[in-house]
Amino acid sequence: MEQETVVGANRLELLQIADAVAREKVIEIDLVIEALEEAIQKAARSKYGFENEIRAEIDRKTGDIRLQRLLEVVEEVDNEATQISLPSAQVRNPDARVGDLLSEPLPPIDFGRIAAQTAKQVIVQKVRDAERERQYEEYKDRIGEIVNGIVKRVEYGNVMVDLGRAEAVVRRDEVLPRESFHNGDRVRSYIYDVRQETRGPQIFLSRSHPQFMAKLFAQEVPEIYDGIIEIRAVARDPGSRAKIAVISRDSSIDPVGACVGMRGSRVQAVVSELQGEKIDIIQWSPDPAAFLVNALAPAEVSKVVMDEDAHKFEVVVPDDQLSLAIGRRGQNVRLASQLTGWDIDIVTESEESERRQEELRQRSQMFMETLVIDEMMAQLLATEGFASVEDIAYIERDELAGLEGFDEDLADALQQRANDYLARRDAELDAQRREMGVEDALAAIQGLRPAMLVTLGEAGIKSLDEFADLASDELIDRDSGLLRDFGLTEDDANAMIMAARAHWFEDDEAPGEPAATTEEMATEAAAAEDAEAEAAKASEGDA
């Protein structure tokens, strides 16, 4: 009786220990008991033989431990440790069938020193894995939050931070420059990633991330937290300078003033946390050019030229504003570029004027040589915005005659000279492409001018099939397109490529039937789509 009382106490103590571990590690008690069961199984296999399939079960209420050996019912036994023949199995259980698993009770085991040590290692590892899984599940949805922690240790510049129920790391490239931490320091950081790795879940913190500053403003400015003011973009040079673009959903609230606060109190709180980082708060604008002008503050901007295709701005500033616009080591223009998402080239007014004069001089010289006119008339054409001989040849005569000092006769004469020059040039280019071996069939494609054919020939594209194999991007891509300098649109390129491919489909036409043109094929496809749509509507109506 006394022995049973001791055993019962020990078993209840096992459940109490499991409960205490679960509470301390903030994990489910079932996970701890499963770890204990696995440890007992491993110890039992070391006693009865590792070839045996042994299962251990701990009663969740009484703490009783049951050991069982599992045997698979088979017709012919190959391994007596894990298998049992069907006749033998039916002696124990008349309902046994091949493929069933029979359990055979085993007597309790006494843990020796080695077995106990092994069991301890298994339990520790399982509990650690469960704790790491709990940490991952807790923090994987907290990416984007600011957390407070205490510096645990510093290893090679990486700061290990104790978050209370987890450990995180601020890598040295995520710490502000010239910022140092010591054990016990409190640190506020931004969770930018949580990853499962071989050594367990890793929580990565940052103090240099742009969103860290945005979240700090959300804590300091109630209007941002409430959603009245929205932070649209952030650009940082960590520890030195930053720009933040804000917009207000309420026209009565000034977003910049709200972020600055009374006597700069709000922005100063953020600056203090970021070790004195200077912050420019900028009004966001849906107009890219206006937003850029704001982003380059405090520099003044004279003119902005926007290239939407290249996603690039050319900014003209007064000569005395150049250094301010660029900033120390290019910092101001670099942050403005990050904030707006556009590439920025900055030139002074004098540089822009010189470049414009040089362009006018080159165009005037070109008109003098190609149209055989005097310098004054050439300069007038260049000043009026004509950039090529084609512009003069294809413009409406009345528009050309309407220029100051021009009349209809002069306009006719200029256009005749322009057309004569283009004809001579095209003839020379046509002869050049023939020498290159560019096929006449390719030259017959509508839209391919002689200059384009020469360019294609220089790139090794000389036959109809070689051209038909190209994609539109290979022709018009801004960086590598073969015909990128000719102003073609994607529709132009696709039309020419489809015209080149038309002969591929001629063999599929029935004998005696004329081959369908690209336009006809497109029309037929559109008609088929319309018919399908009508049929679908009719079926819906019937339903």
DSSP-H helix ranges across 372-407 = 375-383, 389-394, 397-401
Task: For residue 486, give the CATH number of its domain.
Answer: 1.10.150
Domain boundary among 111, 134, 157: 134
Q: Tell which residue, 307, 331, 330, 325, has the closest CA to residue 235.
A: 331
User: What is the predicted pLDDT for the residue at 245?
Assistant: 94
β-pairing verdict for 54-58 and 65-74? antiparallel
Query: Dihedrals φ, ψ of 255, to 5°?
Result: -65, -40
Please, what is the end-to-end C-alpha distance for the chain in angstroms?
81
Residue 192 forms part of a structural domain: yes
User: What is the predicted pLDDT for the residue at 256?
Assistant: 92
Residue 94 forms part of a structural domain: yes
Asked whether residue 13 falls in the same domain as residue 130, the answer is yes
Q: How far apart are CA 324 and CA 269, in angstroms?
A: 26
Asked whether residue 29 falls in the same domain as residue 127, the answer is yes
Residue 352 forms part of a structural domain: no
Asked whether residue 37 falls in the same domain as residue 158, the answer is no
pLDDT in tens, 294-346: 999 888 898 898 888 788 899 999 988 899 999 888 999 999 999 999 999 99
Q: How far apart are CA 380 and CA 360, in angstroms?
A: 10
User: What is the predicted pLDDT for the residue at 9?
Assistant: 38
Whole domain around residue 27: which residue ranges?
Answer: 2-134
**Contact status, residue 479 vs residue 509, Cβ threshold 8 Å:** no
Asked whether residue 10 falls in the same domain as residue 116, the answer is yes
User: What is the predicted pLDDT for the residue at 151?
Assistant: 92
User: What is the predicted pLDDT for the residue at 457?
Assistant: 87
Residue 476 forms part of a structural domain: yes
Q: How far apart are CA 274 and CA 176, in angstroms?
A: 8
User: What is the predicted pLDDT for the residue at 481?
Assistant: 85
Q: Tell which residue, 341, 241, 236, has the closest CA to residue 284.
A: 341
User: What is the predicted pLDDT for the residue at 3?
Assistant: 35
**Contact status, residue 305 vs residue 314, Cβ threshold 8 Å:** yes
Q: How far apart are CA 181 and CA 174, in angstroms?
A: 13
Q: How far apart are CA 204 and CA 171, in angstroms?
A: 8
Query: Dihedrals φ, ψ of 302, to 5°?
Result: -90, -40
19 alpha carbon, distance to own chain's centre: 45
Asked whether residue 128 falls in the same domain as residue 160, the answer is no
User: What is the predicted pLDDT for the residue at 25?
Assistant: 64
Query: Dihedrals φ, ψ of 401, to 5°?
Result: -70, -20
Q: The pTM is what? A: 0.61
For 266, the token pair is: 């709000």
Q: Tell which residue, 41, 70, 77, has the closest CA to residue 58.
A: 41
Look at the chain and report how many structural domains it folds into.
3
Asked whether residue 81 falls in the same domain as residue 202, the answer is no
User: What is the predicted pLDDT for the residue at 492?
Assistant: 86
Domain boundary among 148, 179, 206: 206
User: What is the predicted pLDDT for the residue at 521?
Assistant: 47
Domain boundary among 188, 206, 224: 206
Which residues in the chain come in under a pLDDT of 50?
A: 1-9, 510, 512, 515, 517-519, 521-522, 525-526, 528-529, 543
